[in-house]
Amino acid sequence: MNISTKLEPIVKTLKLQMATPEKLAPYGEILGYNEAIAPMPIDFYDGAVKVRRVANFVSDEQTELPIVTVNRRPFEMRHAERHFKHTQAFISLGSKPFIAAFAPPNDKDMPDMDKWEAFLFDGSAGFMMHVGTWHDFPFAVFDHTNLMVILRKETTDGLVRDNVIQDEAEGPDLEKRDMLARHNTIIRFDL
């Protein structure tokens, strides 16, 4: 019997913050227009096309871009995951807002439970996490929110049903942990 069936869970409530580049810097980078980044010296199309490198996506293996439809679910996190070989990104399609929570990378088998922060993304830009940033899958504010997720194929494959054991998954580029089973803790968002 795991601890979650013996004791009342510890509930950590996070105050929701607006996602800004400054507040998100410990966890990754905003993917969107940034006038502070100078366009590259590409001169085709008589200046009608400006290319800016806003982030440095990292992946040393097959990368994929699945579209994930997210519906509303309780604003409560039971799982935390991280990736060691790529900088996973979430991009809202259709300008719908979403909520995501992050804890900084560490060298432990679980995130520091006191360092989680939750953010509201307004849908105008995406977000790319640093390698090793702890997170759970984003939460929809509205049903049928489509997110483009940029990640390694082996990570997606690591999440399929056959690889999940006792509500956790592990692979070459994935650690998905059950915070309720391991620490009797769930995280909620205060809207």
pLDDT at 3 over 80: no
pLDDT tens-digit map of 60-87: 889 999 999 999 999 999 999 999 999 9
Domain 8-190 in CATH 2.60.120.480: yes
The dihedral region occupied by 30, where left means phi > 0, alpha psi between -120 and 50, and beta the remainder, is: beta
Is there a contact between 104 and 2 (Cβ–Cβ < 8 Å)?
Answer: no
Is there a contact between 131 and 83 (Cβ–Cβ < 8 Å)?
Answer: yes
- Give the sign of the dihedral formed by CA 153, CA 92, CA 79, CA 57: positive
Q: How far apart are CA 106 and CA 38, in angstroms?
A: 33
C-alpha pair distances (Å), 7 with each of 15, 47, 74, 110:
25, 63, 21, 20
Strands 10-18 and 117-121: parallel
Helix and strand tally (H, E) in the chain? 3, 17
Q: What is the mean pLDDT of the chain?
A: 91
Give me the pLDDT at residue 6, please. 65
pLDDT tens-digit map of 150-182: 999 888 887 877 778 888 998 889 999 999 999
Read off the pTM: 0.89
Instruction: Quote the Cα angle for 113-114-116, to 5°.
Output: 75
Is there a contact between 28 and 130 (Cβ–Cβ < 8 Å)?
Answer: yes
Where do the domains of the chain lie?
A: 8-190
Give me the pLDDT at residue 4, please. 45
For residue 174, the cross-strand partners are 171
| Structure tokens that stand for 87 in this block | 């900088």
Q: How far apart are CA 15 and CA 188, in angstroms?
A: 9
Three-state DSSP at 13 gives strand
What percent of the chain has a predicted confidence (pLDDT) above 90? 69
Q: Looking at residues 25-40, what average pLDDT do you find?
A: 91
pLDDT tens-digit map of 101-155: 999 999 999 999 999 999 999 999 999 999 999 999 999 999 999 999 999 988 8
